[in-house]
A and B are shown apart, each in its own frame.
Chain A
Amino acid sequence: MLDNELLQTFVEESTELLENLEQNLLKLEKRPDDKELIKEIFRLIHTIKGSSALVGCCEITNFVHHAEDLLDQIRNNLLELNSEVINILFIIHDIIKDLINSLIIADYEIDIDRLNLTIREIQNCIDVKNISYKRDKKIALKRSEQSKVYNIKVEFNTELFQTGTDPLLLLRELNELGCFIEVYLAYKRIPDFFEIDPVLCYLTIEFVLKTKMPFEKIKDVFVFIEIDSNVKIEDVTKNYRENIDETLVDKKPGEILVDKGLLSEEDIDEALSREILTKKRKVDSQQINKVLQEQQESRSIQEKSTIKVSTDKMELLMNSVAELVISQARVKERISRKTLNDDQQLNASLQEVDKKIRFLQEEVMKARMVPIGNTFLRFRRLVRDLSRDHGKKVNLVIRGKETELDKMVIEKIVDPLKHMLRNAIDHGIELPEERTALGKVESGTITLDAYHREGYIFIEITDDGRGLDKERIRESAIKRGIISNDNLPAADEQIHELIFEPGLSTSDEITETSGRGVGMDVVKSNIEALRGSISINSMENKGTKYRLKLPLTLSIIDGMSVIVGDKHFIIPINSIIEFYQPNKSEIKSVSGKGESVRIRGEYLSLFRLSKLFSINNNVEDPINGILIVLKDDDKKITLLVDEIIGQQQAVVKSLEDNYDNVQGIAGATILGNGRVAMIIDVSSLMKIAFK
């Protein structure tokens, strides 16, 4: 693992923590008295500070330190949490995010001014005198050239083993610092054999160590035990020349023995006078039980066993499954119908394989599905900031959080969704005064909703603002030559659709967030690139609703294989209502207006695929071909094809990979015989048909 990986881990973790932080800040804004929230926020900041120091990102550590100071004051009730302070907290979040981004994005520019300004603001808020934290005393280690001799006497605490400390390892550590001239074990404390408690420590050891290391280094060895063991270190260099204790000369043997702790009389006295720690139950069993219970009850995030898989890997998996489907089709192609009919076992085996592949495909698809809730929640911050910037009051309502979407699809719709939110806040929702004047509630409401229906996913953004201004759109469109005066579309719907034309903007000034007119057409093409579609519904003064329709999966679809002339096409099953073979009386043709067919009393437009795609056909008269009734939302048409081959799964190969987007075509697929067939996009086909 390289330092790079460690940095990546740090960035990943911190990004998650920051997202948590933001959500918590948003909650805090509504409930500034919530102590638990403040604690949690402090903990998040604290963790980020610790981790950043660990990986050496001092810039982050230093800044977060200031943030921590601020939060410390707040949590100790020394600072009031008003809206100004909360704002600073939001800015702190943004700055930390910036700093983290600068770690991984080359040439990323950090707003230094904002950073410094924020630090000053923090310092203004807090009472600097209140902060007291001890700084670690930096011990300057100087290597002395001269060897010194130290006498180290350690009387190990009887309970030493309880902490898992092994005196032998301490000895070794000491030994590394120099060399032992003398070592004495005082076994005076060791009781009679039969009274020895094997879990207690009765050791008292005396070392004489010759070392070049400074005093602090020796002290360090005992740093953990000096609290409850007796450690005495003495510089006795002057006593030792030639490694012999010269003070011994003047002492009586008895004294020496006593000094060395080998004599028993004094020892008994000592032992009796020393306090022996009784084993106290330091933990109340009730408390422990409570904590354990809380653990089980809380839905901790780490409980779920999850693995993070990159989108690329999922993409690869999906593609592999897709290729598997193609290969399977090819195998089937090679086996003639006769063989299949004759060989029952072969048939059964193939069906087995079919089932298994389908299952695999569904599971892989499910694995890629992620609830859209997270994405929606991220928008809260955006909505808050934008409303503040524009002086509007906006309430964001989120529905359908659990609706699951393909991970890749989510990634690709985030920008379009953001853009539509911007539009809603910038243009849609009116200023509070305007709203009250109109009799509306002061706060505008934007609703985000997501749901599954008929094999598609729908995402809606609704606002209760002023709605689209038909007149201005019409004017703007005429001005830019998108429509001409004699060709005016009358229906509201058509006028609304115009906002998807490139270059159209009805805003007089270009605000920072929108109004440049490069918006909705790009949104539309982004959605269409995902084989989805977008529609608008708007009413003056009531509001606007955007509806995105996206396919459940990008890669494999269930399709109906049809033929026109000598060409194969695949039509997605989801869009097919029924097949119909009309008789002569049911077909009506009006010159200049086209054809239609009457099915059970209802008249539907009839289109010929051969005409729409300008290709040859074999069947002219609809009564000799097949009509397919197609639907897109609530619109229905019938499509004439020569023949229907049958149902098949089709792996969608995007035309855009190597070519370009084509109207009416959702993509291509490779058939069992190796040929390429086009997959029809019903939505845009209808658009072509009605043009």
Chain B
Amino acid sequence: MDNLILIVDDSKTVRASVSYTLKNAGYGVEEAVNGKDAFNILGMLSTADKRPSMIITDVNMPVMDGISLVKEIKRDNRLKFIPIIILTTESQEELKLAGKKAGAAGWLVKPFKPEQLIQLAKKFVR
């Protein structure tokens, strides 16, 4: 799909909020609850020859944190060119750099406003 966005976050509220904002702006949204779940979904989409145009992932997640997820995705040839945005909080400046180093395309600081999210989508999704 040309405008499918994948949101990976263990918080139901964050997923619902992102979904709501982006769907209203006309994007398609898939949700994953953690890194492993994200991989499952990406796998399924790939076999259907669909890939998200952007992935937004939280950094603080149990099992597999966001930075590791970024690194993992970058290792996958089918997925490595998908822009990944990491969600950080204001007290985690160092994560922005770590994210970029890992290959993330950008970041978004929580709490964010809907406009910021849409602005971000416009930056990376046609």
Is there a contact between chains A and B in the complex with CB atoms less than 8 Å apart?
yes
Interface residues of A (CB under 8 A from B): 1, 5-6, 9-10, 12-14, 43, 46-47, 50-51, 53-55, 61, 133-136, 161-166, 169-170, 172-173, 221, 223-224, 227-228, 282-283, 288, 291, 294-295, 298, 300, 302
Tell me if B105 and A173 are in contact (CB < 8 A): no
Inter-chain CA distance A298–B81, complex, in Å, is 30
Query: B71 and A283: CB pair below 8 A?
Result: yes
Q: List the 6 shortest-distance A-B pairs measured between CB atoms, nearest first.
A: A164-B83, A53-B111, A224-B106, A51-B13, A163-B105, A13-B12
Chain B residue nearest to A300 in the complex (CB): B63
Most buried by A among B37, B62, B64, B126: B62
A216: shortest Cβ distance to chain B, in Å? 14
Q: How far is the CB of B111 from chain A (nearest CB, A)?
A: 3
A161-B81 Cα distance, complex, nearest whole Å: 7
Are B101 and A9 within 8 A (Cβ)? Answer: no
A164: B residues at CB distance < 8 A: 54, 80-84, 105, 124
Give chain A's interface secondary structure class: helix
Contact in complex: B12, A6 (CB < 8 Å): no
Give which listed residue, B71, B91, B109, contacts A133 with CB less than 8 A.
B91
Q: Which of A10, A134, A227, A298 contacts B13 (CB 8 A)?
A: A10
Tell whether, in the assembled complex, residue B105 and residue A282 are in contact, meaning their CB atoms are under 8 Å apart: no
CB contacts (< 8 Å) of B83 on chain A: these are: 163-166
Q: What is the minimal beta-carbon distance from A275 to any residue of chain B, in angstroms?
A: 15
Judge whether B10 is part of the interface by a CB distance below 8 angstroms. yes
Give chain B's interface secondary structure class. mixed
C-beta contact mask, B94-126 vs A, less than 8 Å → 1, else 0? 000100111111110111100000000011111
**Bound CA span A14–B72, Å:** 30
| Complex CA distance for A298 and B89, rounded to whole angstroms | 27
Chain B proximity of A67: nearest CB distance (Å): 14
Given contacts A282-B101, A288-B72, 18 further A-B pairs with CB under 8 A are A6-B17, A10-B13, A12-B12, A47-B10, A54-B13, A133-B90, A136-B109, A161-B81, A162-B74, A162-B103, A164-B84, A165-B124, A169-B126, A224-B106, A227-B97, A282-B71, A283-B72, A302-B10
CB distance from B118 to the nearest CB of A (A): 12
How distant is the Cα of A288 from the Cα of B62 in the complex, in angstroms? Answer: 15
> Which B residues are CB-close (under 8 A) to A172?
122
Give the distance in Å from the alpha carbon of A234 to the alpha carbon of B62 in the complex: 44
Q: Contact between B72 and A294 (Cβ–Cβ < 8 Å)? A: no
Q: How far is the CB of A38 from chain B (nearest CB, A)?
A: 15
- Cα separation A630 to B74 with both chains bound (whole Å): 72
Known: A50-B11, A295-B64, A302-B37. A283 touches B75 (CB 8 A): yes
Task: Produce 1/0 per residue, B67-85, CB < 8 A to A.
Answer: 0100110110000111110
Does A228 contact B100, Cβ atoms closer than 8 Å?
yes
Q: In this assembly, does B93 line the interface, its C-beta being within 8 Å of a C-beta of chain A? A: yes
A54 touches B93 (CB 8 A): no
Are A163 and B64 in contact (CB-based, < 8 A)?
Answer: no
CA gap between A227 and B107 in the complex, in Å: 12
Tally of A-B Cβ pairs under 8 angstroms? 127
Q: Give Cα distance in the complex from A283 to B70, angstroms.
A: 10
Q: Is there a chain A Cβ closer than 8 Å to B34's Cβ?
A: yes
Contact B123 A169 (CB under 8 A): yes
| Nearest CB in chain B: distance from A279 CB, A | 11
Give the contacting residue for B104; candidates A133, A163, A288, A291; CB below 8 A.
A163
B60 CB–A CB distance under 8 Å: yes
Smallest Cβ-Cβ distance to B54: which chain A residue: A164
Q: Tell me whether A134 and B81 are in contact in the complex, defined as CB-CB below 8 angstroms, given that A173-B123, A227-B100, A282-B101 are known contacts.
A: no
| Interface residues on chain B, number (Cβ under 8 Å) | 50
Would you give the shortest CB distance from B50 to chain A, in whole angstroms?
16
Give the CA-CA distance A164 to B82 in the complex, in Å.
Answer: 5
User: Shortest beta-carbon distance, B84 to chain A, in Å?
Assistant: 7
Decide: A43 and B62 in contact? CB cutoff 8 A. yes
In the assembled complex, which residues on chain A have CB atoms less than 8 Å from the CB atom of B41?
Answer: none
Given contacts A6-B16, A135-B90, A282-B71, A294 and B63 within 8 Å (CB-CB): yes
- Would A163 and B126 count as touching, CB distance under 8 A? no
Asked if A163 and B13 sit within 8 Å, CB to CB, the answer is no
Residue of B nearest to A199 (CB): B81
Q: Cβ of B33: which chain A residues have Cβ within 8 Å of it?
A: 302
Among B7-63, those with CB < 8 Å from A are 10-14, 16-17, 20, 33-37, 54, 60, 62-63
Contacts of A135 in B (CB 8 A): 90
User: How far is B102's CA from A46's CA once the two chains are assembled, in angstroms?
Assistant: 24
- Least Cβ–Cβ distance between B28 and chain A, in angstroms: 15
- Docked complex Cα distance between A162 and B100 (Å): 11
12 contacts between A and B (CB under 8 A): A1-B20, A9-B16, A54-B112, A55-B13, A133-B90, A163-B105, A164-B80, A224-B107, A288-B68, A294-B63, A295-B64, A300-B36
Min CB distance A592 to B, Å, is: 70
A353–B84 CA distance with the chains assembled, in angstroms: 55
Chain B nearest Cβ from A55, distance in angstroms? 6
- Expressed in whole angstroms, the minimum distance between the Cβ of A100 and any Cβ of chain B is 12
Given A43-B62, A164-B105, the answer on whether A170 and B13 have CB atoms closer than 8 Å is no
Kindly list chain A residues whose C-beta atoms are within 8 Å of the C-beta of B105.
163-165, 224
Contact A47 B90 (CB under 8 A): no
What residues of A have a CB within 8 angstroms of the CB of B16 in the complex?
Answer: 1, 5-6, 9-10
Instruction: Report the nearest B residue to A49, measured CB to CB.
Output: B89
**In contact, B68 and A291 (Cβ under 8 angstroms):** yes
- Does B64 lie within 8 Å of A291, measured CB to CB? yes
Contact B91 A134 (CB under 8 A): yes
The CA of A164 and the CA of B125, in the complex, are separated in Å by 10
Which residues from chain A contact B14 at a C-beta distance below 8 Å?
50-51, 54
The residue of chain B having its C-beta at the shortest distance from the C-beta of A58 within the complex is B111
In the bound complex, residues from chain B placing their C-beta under 8 Å from that of A162 are 74, 80-81, 103
- Distance to closest chain A CB from B52 (angstroms): 10
A227 proximity list for chain B (CB < 8 A): 97, 100
Q: How far is the CA of A53 from the CA of B33 in the complex (A)?
A: 20
**What chain B residues lie within 8 Å of A10 (beta carbons)?**
12-13, 16
Contact: A43 with B11, CB < 8 Å? no
Contacts of B81 in A (CB 8 A): 161-162, 164
Q: Shortest distance in angstroms between A82's beta carbon and chain B's nearest beta carbon?
A: 26
